[in-house]
Amino acid sequence: MYTILSSASTHCPAVATLLYPESAKRVQAELDEVVGRNRMPTFADQAHLPYFTAWIKEVERRWPLVPAAV
């Protein structure tokens, strides 16, 4: 079960990146500006990443990992 969810959680952002490359570029630019390329973002960075946070929420809304009827 964990492998399926793990695979789906990485698959959905990849699909969003392919379908909306201009949005993915904006997300990457925001991440580079706030976090840089030398470390991973943390929860402390979330307040400074509004577009990234909105993008993740939209990906989760468009492609939920668990069906709503469960």
Q: Give pTM, 2 decimals.
A: 0.72
- Count Cβ atoms below 10 Å from residue 15 Cβ, excluding itself: 12
Amino acid identity of 6? S
What pLDDT, in 10s, does the model give residues 6-59? Answer: 556 666 777 778 787 898 899 999 999 999 999 999 999 999 999 999 988 888
20 by Cβ neighbours in 10 Å (0-12 / 13-18 / 19+) ranks as middle
